[in-house]
């Protein structure tokens, strides 16, 4: 029989799959003999069974009763006992941290009777009634799906009527009044009284936590973070400890290092006389840990000691939640802390220097997405700026956009192409959609550990929080700056600096990040461009990580480049060649008429004349790219698109000529021929029509032109003492015979140029794998090919059987909502389908031709998750856009370390 419940003494930090992150880490802390309130965890297996069967699994209730009895025995109290009640929290906890995305209910077990017992035994009436109103409010919103604004409005109305500034001003009588009001809200909204059976409360709360796994905000967050939908959440039942028992009590969040910068020191927030949700909700601005030291030196010293122990134990920056109940410290959670990209790189290198991790592990502690964020532009320090106010810098970056005040505004304006800044008094988990759509987040309340700060850091969004100078009226759509006596409105443009906390009026010019300068111009130039020592430290950290990643990487990183400028930029960014040079891009713009001439030719002689006119242009293009990549391979793809892409649109041209005729203007013979050619070359599905190798077979002059241009360009550079390394790639191969024909034709041309120039030109000739048939017959094709390059964009289209341009707008969102996709297969490789074709083709190709070189040149070549897959599949190189080269280099190193570790673990288990 499946075991669904584990006490904290039965788990450890390595059981996150079963116990979730929170449960596994609570068990780990308990195992370290840290002060953890007694409790137990309901497993993710139970959650999955709940969704599979539509109800909690058989036997769960009995296991919960058994473990609850153990907690009651330990505490010497019974759940909800009228005289001395045991109260518990019911908390979510998935394998991967999803801050604020799922539900938690505190103070479970309080009833109309037990609240009196709690008041009596604690000697604190206010605390007891405050806890009861919190339970009804949280339970009503999260368990009974009552609009949370109904409860919040009741609090606001009471406080305004009595002239209170905040919740701490409320008296015991006020709280009793709120409890009565809240119970009336529950009765009105649900048709039933607030439940008075403590076990019923707990069971309902467990159900609610399970359901919250599939809440809209949780699904949005998982899609963004690429967390699988089938993991489920664990549920943690934990004895309540109370931070709202007076001035000797409180609650807080602490980090063992600054999650914004990565600097060592004392970082965290503390709220006196509060419960945990008050800190993350940002309803009051918090104190610092330095303030806690003055208030309660004993608890502060104990907390600092535990922080050090946990960081040493986890060997990483830790995020810790704690409560102090009348001078007694309790640990409620620990997890590896989310951090900004700058902090990630700094902390990784600090931990190397402190001997906690080695260089290989350090490169696994940072990600390509974080590196991308560091390469974003930053505000120009020399630009004229008008500072409106300053808040707490919570997540670095430079963000400019229109003020928006809710999810709908953010999404609609972003969909219209506008950059937006989400401005709120404070954020809550329901604001996730707006945060995803926004460039940055600005709040009037909250600290570095508030919801806005934590989620923004995890998402790489710029954030400034706790700007107390702001009065935000979300209904009126206004932002009043008290110190300036100035009012802004929704739609006005502001800029926020997540590094300094400054808020500026209007847009602010940006400049390249020193990290971008590092990749483009080198370490010395980046240090010279760094405005302060902190930035120089960051540049050094990036340099150390990248040096190690390059040293570990097995995959080469090439770039997709169609002109000398892109090739030179890619080389500066560290590309080891060009993996895709799309020659058709050289035929567009002013040169389009040359291809028209080829298409319109009536005779072979006319067609050859048109192709001959293109030869010097193509040769010049190749000389530029080969020279920019001198000594490195340049893979040139022969012409690929269907002919219609070089001709006018049929409808547009028909209308244009019809208008000319209607006006009595003459339609030229060429215009008539073009219209005829457009009609002749029109295809119902051109992406599966006359393109790629098929075009080269139908018009072999294209092969002659392009191979000759490649060969002559290479020969000319060799004569200059250069070392060009071109490779010829045939697109859209589906049959080995297609490859044989083009290969023989290309070899004949190379032999001619070699004879004409006296230079031996034995250039590699390979093909793209873009069709399932090519992947399935890779062994045969490999016998005629020197390299494979997987065109994963087309391979995805032809494997799934849909057109990217049509499908993404037509039904992809439905597929996300229905769970068919967790991420677009064009964004990250479909490992179970398309990926298996890649892996099997590599295996079959190399078995048939051990010297076969395999790479990928689709957009997946710059996607971190795809890069890890390609490394494991045995590819030899990846190719991506020039600006993604640094990210690909880092991920290639990370993939090598990860796959080494996986292989080592597998061997160790044999």
pTM of the model: 0.82
566 compared with 680, residue with greater pLDDT: 566
Binned at pLDDT 50, 70 and 90, residue 28 comes out as very high
Binned at pLDDT 50, 70 and 90, residue 907 comes out as low
> By percentage, how much of the chain surpasses pLDDT 70?
97
**pLDDT confidence of residue 667:** 82
Catalytic one among 47, 318, 451, 854? 451
Taking residues 728-736, what's their average pLDDT?
A: 97
Taking residues 538-548, what's their average pLDDT?
A: 97
**pLDDT confidence of residue 906:** 54
Using the predicted structure, report yes or no on whether residue 904 has a pLDDT greater than 70. Answer: no
505 compared with 379, residue with greater pLDDT: 505
Tokens 């007076």 correspond to what residue? Answer: 246
- Strands of the 264-272 sheet, one edge to the other: 287-288, 264-272, 250-257, 318-325, 328-336
> By percentage, how much of the chain surpasses pLDDT 90?
70
**pLDDT confidence of residue 556:** 98
Write out pLDDT tens, residues 288-317.
999 999 999 999 999 999 999 999 999 999
Closest by Cα among 57, 41, 51 to 2: 57
How far is 229 from 247, CA to CA, in rounded Å?
43
Using the predicted structure, report yes or no on whether residue 335 has a pLDDT greater than 70. Answer: yes
How far is 797 from 770, CA to CA, in rounded Å?
9
Using the predicted structure, report yes or no on whether residue 85 has a pLDDT greater than 70. Answer: yes
How far is 337 from 448, CA to CA, in rounded Å?
12
DSSP structure class, residue 375: T
- Mind giving me the DSSP string for 849-884? -TT-EEEE-SGGGG-HHHHHHHHHHT-SEEEE-GGG
Using the predicted structure, report yes or no on whether residue 457 has a pLDDT greater than 80. Answer: no
**pLDDT confidence of residue 377:** 76
Taking residues 366-384, what's their average pLDDT?
A: 87
Helix (H, G, I), strand (E, B) or coil at 678: helix
Compute the mean pLDDT over every residue in the chain, rounded to the nearest whole number.
Answer: 91
Helix (H, G, I), strand (E, B) or coil at 811: coil
Taking residues 388-413, what's their average pLDDT?
A: 91
Token output for 4? 């669904």
Token output for 858? 């689709």
Taking residues 802-831, what's their average pLDDT?
A: 85
Using the predicted structure, report yes or no on whether residue 460 has a pLDDT greater than 80. Answer: no
**pLDDT confidence of residue 283:** 62
Taking residues 209-223, what's their average pLDDT?
A: 90
Binned at pLDDT 50, 70 and 90, residue 822 comes out as confident
**pLDDT confidence of residue 910:** 47
CA-based Rg of the chain, rounded to a whole angstrom? Answer: 32
Contact yes or no for 437/399 (Cβ under 8 A): no
> What count of other Cβ atoms lies within 10 Å of the Cβ of residue 544?
18
Taking residues 695-704, what's their average pLDDT?
A: 90
Token output for 193? 């009284």
Catalytic one among 67, 857, 868, 880? 857
How many helices (H) and strands (E) the chain has is answered by 37, 33
How far is 708 from 334, CA to CA, in rounded Å?
64
Token output for 507? 């847009």
Binned at pLDDT 50, 70 and 90, residue 555 comes out as very high
**pLDDT confidence of residue 326:** 93
673 Cα distance to chain centroid: 51
Helix (H, G, I), strand (E, B) or coil at 634: strand
Pairing of strands 250-257, 318-325: antiparallel
Binned at pLDDT 50, 70 and 90, residue 220 comes out as confident
Write out pLDDT tens, residues 233-275.
999 999 999 988 889 999 999 999 999 899 988 889 899 988 8
**pLDDT confidence of residue 167:** 83
Taking residues 407-424, what's their average pLDDT?
A: 94
Using the predicted structure, report yes or no on whether residue 843 has a pLDDT greater than 70. Answer: yes
451 among known catalytic residues: yes
- Strands of the 470-473 sheet, one edge to the other: 470-473, 478-481, 486-489
- The answer to which of 152-166, 354-368, 726-740 has the lowest mean pLDDT is 152-166
């Amino acid at each position: 029989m499946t075991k669904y419940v584990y006490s904290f003494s039965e788990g450890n930090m390595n059981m996150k799959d079963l116990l979730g992150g929170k449960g596994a880490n609570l068990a780990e802390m308990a195992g370290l003999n840290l002060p953890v309130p007694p409790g137990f965890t309901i497993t993710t297996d139970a959650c999955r069974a709940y969704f599979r069967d539509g109800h909690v699994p058989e036997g769960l209730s009995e296991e919960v009763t058994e473990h609850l009895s153990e907690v009651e025995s330990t505490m010497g109290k019974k759940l909800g006992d009228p005289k001395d009640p045991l109260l518990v929290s019911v908390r979510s906890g998935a394998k991967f941290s999803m801050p604020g995305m799922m539900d938690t209910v505190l103070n479970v077990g309080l009833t109309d009777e037990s609240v009196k017992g709690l008041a009596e035994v604690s000697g604190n009436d206010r605390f007891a009634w405050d806890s009861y109103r919190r339970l009804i409010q949280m339970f009503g919103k999260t368990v009974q799906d009552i609009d949370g604004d109904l409860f919040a409005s009741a609090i606001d109305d009471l406080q305004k009527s009595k002239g209170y500034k905040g919740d701490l001003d409320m008296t015991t009588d006020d709280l009793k009044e709120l409890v009565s009001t809240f119970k009336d809200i529950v009765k009105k909204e649900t048709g039933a009284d607030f439940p008075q059976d403590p076990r019923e409360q707990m069971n309902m709360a467990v159900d609610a936590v399970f359901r919250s796994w599939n809440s809209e905000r949780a699904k949005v967050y998982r899609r963004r973070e690429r967390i699988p939908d089938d993991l489920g959440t664990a549920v943690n039942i934990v004895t309540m400890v109370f931070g709202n028992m007076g001035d000797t009590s409180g609650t807080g969040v602490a980090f063992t290092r600054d999650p914004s910068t990565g600097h060592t020191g004392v970082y965290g927030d503390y709220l006196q006389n509060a419960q945990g949700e008050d800190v993350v909700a940002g309803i009051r601005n918090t104190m610092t840990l330095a303030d806690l030291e003055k208030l309660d030196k004993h608890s502060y010293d104990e907390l600092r000691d535990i922080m050090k122990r946990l960081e040493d134990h986890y060997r990483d920056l830790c995020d810790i939640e704690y409560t102090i109940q009348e001078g007694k410290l309790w640990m409620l959670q620990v997890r590896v802390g989310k951090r900004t990209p700058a902090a990630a790189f700094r902390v990784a290198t600090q931990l190397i220097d402190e001997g906690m991790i080695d260089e290989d592990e350090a490169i696994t502690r940072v990600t390509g997405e974080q590196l991308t964020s560091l390469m974003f532009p930053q505000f120009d320090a020399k630009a004229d700026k008008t500072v409106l106010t300053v808040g707490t810098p919570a997540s670095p970056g430079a963000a400019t956009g229109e003020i928006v005040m809710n999810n709908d505004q953010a999404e609609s304006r972003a969909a219209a192409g506008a950059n937006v800044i989400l401005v709120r008094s404070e954020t809550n988990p329901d604001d996730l959609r707006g945060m995803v759509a926004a460039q940055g987040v600005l709040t009037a309340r909250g600290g570095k550990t508030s919801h806005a700060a934590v989620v923004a850091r995890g998402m790489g969004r710029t954030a400034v929080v706790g700007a107390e100078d702001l009065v935000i009226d979300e209904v009126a759509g206004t932002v009043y700056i008290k110190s300036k006596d100035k009012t802004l409105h929704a739609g006005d443009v502001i800029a926020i600096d997540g590094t300094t906390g400054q808020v500026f009026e209007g847009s602010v010019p940006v400049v390249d990040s020193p990290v971008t300068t590092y990749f483009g111009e080198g370490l010395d130039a980046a240090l010279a461009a760094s405005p302060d020592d902190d930035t120089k430290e960051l540049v050094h950290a990036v340099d150390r990580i990248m040096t190690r990643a390059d040293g570990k990487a097995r995959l080469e990183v090439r770039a997709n480049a169609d002109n000398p400028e892109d090739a030179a930029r890619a080389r500066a960014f560290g590309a080891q060649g060009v993996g895709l040079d799309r020659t058709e891009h050289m035929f567009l713009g002013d040169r389009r008429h040359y291809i028209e001439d080829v298409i319109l030719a009536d005779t072979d002689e006319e067609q050859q004349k048109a192709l001959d006119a293109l030869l010097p242009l193509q040769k010049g293009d190749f000389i530029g790219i080969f020279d920019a990549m001198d000594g490195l391979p340049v893979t040139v793809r022969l012409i690929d698109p269907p002919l219609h892409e070089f001709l006018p649109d049929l409808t547009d041209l028909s209308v244009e000529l019809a208008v000319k005729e209607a006006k009595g203007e003459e339609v030229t013979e060429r215009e008539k021929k073009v219209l005829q050619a457009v009609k002749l070359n029109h295809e119902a599905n051109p992406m599966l029509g006359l393109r790629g190798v098929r075009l080269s077979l139908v018009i072999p002059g294209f092969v002659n032109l392009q191979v000759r241009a490649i060969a002559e360009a290479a020969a000319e550079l060799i004569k200059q003492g250069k070392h060009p390394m071109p490779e010829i790639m045939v697109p859209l191969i589906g049959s080995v015979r297609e490859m044989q024909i083009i290969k023989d034709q290309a070899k004949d041309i190379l032999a001619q140029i070699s004879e004409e120039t006296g230079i031996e030109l034995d250039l590699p000739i390979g093909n793209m794998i873009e069709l399932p048939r090519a992947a399935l017959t890779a062994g045969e094709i490999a016998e005629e090919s020197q390299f494979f390059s997987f065109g994963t964009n087309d391979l995805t289209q032809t494997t799934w059987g849909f057109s990217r341009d049509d499908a993404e707008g037509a039904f992809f969102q439905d597929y996300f909502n229905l769970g068919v996709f967790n991420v677009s297969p064009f964004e990250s490789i479909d490992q179970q389908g398309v990926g298996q074709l890649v892996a099997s083709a590599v295996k079959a190709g190399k078995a048939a031709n051990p010297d076969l070189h395999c790479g990928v040149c689709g957009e997946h070549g710059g996607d971190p998750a795809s890069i890890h897959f390609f490394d494991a599949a045995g590819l030899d190189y990846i190719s991506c856009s020039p600006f993604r080269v640094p990210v690909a280099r880092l991920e290639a190193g990370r993939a090598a370390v990860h796959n080494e570790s996986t292989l080592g673990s597998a061997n160790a288990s044999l």
